[in-house]
Amino acid sequence: MSDRSGTIRVGLVGARGYTGAELVRLIDGHPGLELSYACSRAHAGDPVIDHIDHAPADLRFLEAEASTVGAQQADVCVLALPNDASARYVAAIDEACPDTVIVDLSADHRFDEDWAYGLCEQNADAIGASRRIANPGCYATAMQFATLPVLDLLGDVPPVFAGISGVSGAGSTPSPKNDPEVLHDNVLPYAPVGHVHEREVSHQLGRAVRFMPHVAPFFRGLSVSAALTLREPAMLSDIVERYTTWCADHPLVRTLETHTPTPRDGADTNGALIGGLAIGDDGRALGVTCAIDNLLKGAASQAIQNINLALGLDPLEGLMP
């Protein structure tokens, strides 16, 4: 477990991917964490630093074997794997070192009641009491930030979200969603019904939502624009006050009030921006936009925040400029 200096040892499975590389950088900049192992099938045996900046100079990629991961006995293991790939690693850690904190970036445990749902701003107590944490989806994070400050004011009309993200949201494995030919001068709508983040947000908010994602030819960042319907007419100033008050309690989330954040505004930051607040003539139609970096607050920064909470550190350790 933690070494003699008290540094917390973090292992990373899926380290050569987009979110893995961000985690290597954030762990390097975190005063209490050290990267103790990193797994990659493609690069096993190579020095990690040959592929990812900010990696420890003496670390080589390990094979991504479940038994190898279990044998490392780290304090924390982050799984940055595609969906449906986590089970054998979780089983190996359960068997070899059950006290290890696992943070799973995939959707595999977001509907599992034995795991804490890792939306830090909403669920800090459960995360702090858990060793098994399901990191939220990137779009799901932004959708919930756009909605939570006014959730109790919504009527029966289902919230509708339109999302747009850069190509890194699709991961580094080639697909139409990150194909430069498809995306050249273009935007690609996909999964208009049943996206896993639609199910995730419906599950978390306890009410059905609709979500339509799009991918565009920039690398990182996303925004979600929400069409919400209030139960009773409200004044814009009261709604702005709601978001301002909510953000005051959550230092990584900032409101721009009526100014609309774009994906670029949220890119390369550890936090989230909520803005574009607007009320329709009927006083009930509410528009709001949230922008985050899909690889950071949508994945790696949120994972660090979860590690901090699970280990009793300052929740923002390693995340402020």
Ligand X SMILES: NC(=O)c1ccc[n+]([C@@H]2O[C@H](COP(=O)([O-])OP(=O)(O)OC[C@H]3O[C@@H](n4cnc5c(N)ncnc54)[C@H](OP(=O)(O)O)[C@@H]3O)[C@@H](O)[C@H]2O)c1
The catalytic site residues sit at: 138
Total residues contacting ligand X by CB under 6 A comes to 30
Taking CB under 6 A as the binding criterion, the range among 37-45, 94-102, 116-124, 273-281 that sits at the site for ligand X is 37-45
In the complex, minimum distance from the CB of residue 286 to ligand X, in angstroms, rounded to a whole number: 26
| Near ligand X by CB under 6 A: residue from 149, 163, 169, 263 | 169
Its sign, for the CA torsion 253, 300, 126, 195, is positive
Q: Which stretch binds ligand X (CB under 6 A): 35-43, 247-255, 267-275, 309-317?
A: 35-43
C-alpha 103/C-alpha 19 separation (Å) is 13
Establish if 173 lies at the interface with ligand X (CB under 6 A).
Answer: yes
Q: Does 171 bind ligand X (CB under 6 A)?
A: yes
- Of 9, 19, 51, 121, the one binding ligand X (CB under 6 A) is 19
Q: Which is nearer to ligand X, 65 or 317 (CB)?
A: 65
Q: Which of residues 65-84 bind ligand X (CB under 6 A)?
A: 80-83
213 binds ligand X per the rule CB under 6 A: no
Q: How far is the CB of 76 from ligand X (least distance, A)?
A: 16
Q: Tell me the DSSP string of 184-235.
A: TT--EE---S--HHHHHHHHHHTS--EEEEEE-SSSS-EEEEEEEEBSS---
Q: DSSP E strands: which ranges in 62-149?
A: 76-79, 101-104, 116-117, 132-134
**What's the rounded Cα separation, in Å, for the pair 185 and 55?**
35
* Alpha carbons 11 and 81: distance in angstroms, whole number: 13
- Rounded to a whole number of angstroms, the minimum distance from the CB of residue 44 to ligand X is 8
Burial environment of residue 211 by CB neighbours within 10 A (0 to 12, 13 to 18, 19 or more): buried
Q: For residues 275, 279, 285 and 291, what is the CA-based torsion angle, rounded to 10 degrees? A: -10
Residues from 134 through 163 that contact ligand X (CB under 6 A): 137-138
196 binds ligand X (CB under 6 A): no
The answer to whether 103 contacts ligand X (rule: CB under 6 A) is no
| Rounded to 5°, angle at Cα 320 from 130 and 222 | 80
Helix, strand, or coil (residue 302) = helix
Based on CB atoms, which residue is closest to ligand X, 14 or 32?
14
**Residue with nearest beta carbon to ligand X:** 17
Q: What is the smallest separation between the CB atom of 20 and ligand X, expressed in angstroms?
A: 5
Taking the complex as a whole, the smallest distance from the CB of residue 220 to ligand X amounts, in Å, to 8
Q: Does 191 bind ligand X (CB under 6 A)?
A: no
- The closest alpha carbon to 229, from 192, 273, 291, 282, belongs to 282
Tell which one of 48, 90, 148, 299 touches ligand X (CB under 6 A): 299
Distance CA 63, CA 123 (A): 34
Q: What angle do CA 223, 226, 230 make, to 5 degrees?
A: 155
Task: Work out the angle at residue 274's Cα, subtended by the Cα atoms of residues 270 and 280, and round it to the nearest 5 degrees.
Answer: 165
The Cβ of residue 313 has, within 10 Å, a number of other Cβ atoms equal to 18
For the CB of residue 197, give the shortest distance to ligand X in the complex, in Å: 9
294 lies in the site for ligand X, by CB under 6 A: yes
Chain residues in the site for ligand X (CB under 6 A): 14-20, 40-43, 64, 80-83, 85, 105-106, 137-138, 168-169, 171-173, 294-295, 298-299
